[in-house]
Amino acid sequence: MEWVKDLDWGNVPAFAGALSLFLAFSIFVRDRSNADRAQVDLIGTWAKIEHYPKTPDENARVRLFIKNSSQLPMEIVQLAFDVHGRWLIPSGPDSQRSTPGVNPRRHFLDDLGSSAPDETWSNSFQVNVADTMPQEDASLNFLESARCSIMWLLLIDNAGRRWEIQPGKGGRAKRVRWYSRLREYQPRWFKPVWLRYSLHRK
């Protein structure tokens, strides 16, 4: 163990100090992110089927809810939800088993305005599920013929920060920053600095 004696132990306090500083900075950033996200995590959204269609040509009626349980107002930029039928296939491995429809219809609600603290927004919509039929001889499940899933909620908090909530995936709200990768579904609520500059030059 002669190599241990040859180490320059005089630098160890410097390394320990740098590590402590890095850990303190990491804790500060984490606590700051949690504090910024705390109010956004109090935004809830859900859906329920008010009317189940009896035939493929009949519309389902879906009611959507957005609950702001925070102490600050939020601007609701976009709500996206999928609606598909629940089908019974008369033969094959999926016979007599409720099967989700194919290609669920995705719907977008844009610019829903500001949501005040302790306010619940609600509205109902009629949606047809015929184009989600998996095959021609399938029939709607008479017990649960439609299902609705909230895909994401885009909002801006009181400080102008942009957030994305995906209830189906679980987890906490995700901050959308200027360097975040643009998604194909995001509306014109966000543009990177270089894109805004190029549009200004044009």
* 10 assigned to some structural domain: no
* 73 assigned to some structural domain: yes
Q: Give residue 2's pLDDT.
A: 53
Q: Which residues of the chain have pLDDT under 50?
A: 3, 22, 24-32, 193-202
* 8 assigned to some structural domain: no
* 168 assigned to some structural domain: yes
Q: Give residue 154's pLDDT.
A: 93
Q: Give residue 37's pLDDT.
A: 81
Domains identified in the chain, total number: 1
* 30 assigned to some structural domain: no
* 26 assigned to some structural domain: no
* 13 assigned to some structural domain: no
> Strands 146-156 and 139-140, how do they pair?
unpaired
Is the pTM above the cut of 0.85? no
* 6 assigned to some structural domain: no
Domain that holds residue 110: 37-201
Q: How far is CA 122 from CA 45, 115, 131, 160, in A?
A: 10, 11, 26, 24
Q: Give the DSSP letter of residue 181.
A: P
- Residue closest to 47 by CA, chosen among 80, 86, 71: 80
